[in-house]
Structure 1
Amino acid sequence: MPDTAFDPFASAALLTMARQGRMPRPLDLPAALRPCNAAQAYAVQDAVVRERGEIAGWKVGAASPQALPARAALTRDSVAVAPTGQAVHLPAAGFAVMGVEAELVYELGADLPERTAPYSPAEVLAAMASVRAAIEVCDTRFAAWAQQGEFSRLADQACHGALVVGSGSADVAAVQPLVQPVHLSVNGTVAVQHAAWGNPAGDPLRLLVWLANEGARSLGGLRAGQWVTTGSCTGTVLVAPGTVVVADFPGLGHAELHLV
């Protein structure tokens, strides 16, 4: 039976007001408004996203290659695509916390709407128009970083702040994520580097297939022109205003962010 006691819209309104500065940021959602499972968290997240604006992308990840993935929809106001060879500049004042991660992001070249028959991995891969280097800025609408339960954080767009999309390749099938090296530099110094894939979820194609078949259903499926970022390859590095961040995927592409 449906859960009639939990009100996702009240929870979403509180997160929206905190983001907009219309109320102090809470340490967590009040107990009565706190999601107790993933279904409730997604109901809150969907309400937040519908109020916030047009969906421009998604983030998807998992704790291990066997773990159930989790997702967040990203709205147009938090996704920036860098002009070729250029950096993206974002105001640091727009974030409560700035945790940066190097990630691989996939560009959808075709719609993957909800349907009865599940999409195969080959169909999902064929729908991708490019794969690129990206930087996610992790943030929170709460008063402290990572002090909430997992479902409160999932409701809060899974701690999403901004996504910066850099350069990459249109030859998606040729990209081999599991052997792809990555470097994350902060102010010209390498903060994290891996000789091969550093994402605990394993193959990002599994995440993309799950998102197409299950994760994106409640918000209408995946659409051409959207971006899907597939989780951190470097962990989260907390930075300060004035920082220059570069995510470099040698042989594939790079993304550069200036927090001004």
Structure 2
Amino acid sequence: MNAANTLLDARRTNTPIADLPPELLPASLDEAYFVQDTMAIAYEAIGGWKVGAPTPDATPIFAPMPFAWIAPSSSTLAGQTHRYRGLEAEIAFLLGEDLPPRATPYTLEEVVAAIKSCHPAIEVLESGLVDPATATRMSMLADLQMHGGFVYGPAFPDWQSIDFTTENVSLFVDGILRVERTGSNTSGNLMRLLPWLANEGAARTGGLKAGQWITTGSWTGNVQALAGSTVDVRFEHIGRVGLRFA
């Protein structure tokens, strides 16, 4: 609880800390997840989950996304909570059906059947840590895995026809191209993340629910912006999404 309160205070007061002190540092991923979940309670309703993997062979990791931080494309993000202003271009899915916990694992086909729509998205990264890249990894993971906002673009109707390994993405900040990549989702195959979350994550999520978002990891790495910046993400097929920082 003290770790969660320390990170919550750092975020809410815009007074980031260099790292969690040793006595509050999570000793395992399960402990980091406990801190995440305690922080999420403070932000009330959960609107979805971020899930990703740093390499194609790595076990996925995930974190809750507060409903209050979810917004449509072209939104202006205001408030002192936007200090770090990290950006990741992502592909996200909106669930149309519940996927409750069950003894038999869900197949990919079953999870896909529960998806209502697929969207281009921007995950906004924020942190109660001064520089998450130099802090202890467990501190970064505990701090909602740097989650600070989620902005979604229009649905792309024919998404199941897309070969994500060849999908191109460009990220612009203030009209300047900052990143352009192809097939660059860090998990290798982003579709593997969906049944993993429905199955392995169920004990923690309580089951995935209709109306929740699942965003599936970065295509662009972490790109930082400034106050007043406009951001434009363009996927070759999935579409465009943008935001502005006040």
What's the TM-score bracket when you normalise by the shorter of the two chains? over 0.9
State the 1:143 CA deviation: 2.7
Determine the structure 1 residue equivalent to 2:53: 62
Q: Which amino acid aligns with 1:40?
A: E
What are the residue-to-residue correspondences of 1:64-79 with 2, within 5 Å? 64-79=55-70
What are the residue-to-residue correspondences of 1:1-260 with 2, within 5 Å? 9-21=1-13, 24-82=15-73, 87-91=74-78, 93-194=80-181, 196-260=182-246
State the 1:92 CA deviation: 6.0
TM-score (norm: length of structure 2): 0.95
Structure 2 unaligned spans of 5+: none
TM-score (norm: length of structure 1): 0.90
For 1:44, what is the secondary structure of its paired residue? Answer: helix
Report the Cα distance in structure 2 between the residues aligned to 1:189 and 1:168, rounded to whole angstroms. Answer: 25
State the 1:134 CA deviation: 0.6
Report the Cα distance in structure 2 between the residues aligned to 1:172 and 1:59, rounded to whole angstroms. Answer: 19
Seq. identity, %? 38
Report the Cα distance in structure 2 between the residues aligned to 1:127 and 1:223, rounded to whole angstroms. Answer: 10
Q: Which amino acid aligns with 2:187?
A: A
Determine the structure 2 residue equivalent to 1:6: none
For 1:246, what is the secondary structure of its paired residue? Answer: strand
Structure 1 unaligned spans of 5+: 1-8
State the 1:24 CA deviation: 4.0
In 2 relative to 1, CA 216–146 (structure 1 residues): closer, same or farther, beyond 3 Å? farther
Verify the 8 A CA contact 1:109 1:224 in the aligned structure 2. Answer: yes
For 1:198, what is the secondary structure of its paired residue? Answer: coil
Query: RMSD of aligned C-alpha atoms?
Result: 1.5
Report the Cα distance in structure 2 between the residues aligned to 1:133 and 1:149, rounded to whole angstroms. Answer: 31
Q: Count how many residue pairs are aligned between Structure 1 and Structure 2.
A: 246
In 2 relative to 1, CA 178–95 (structure 1 residues): closer, same or farther, beyond 3 Å? same
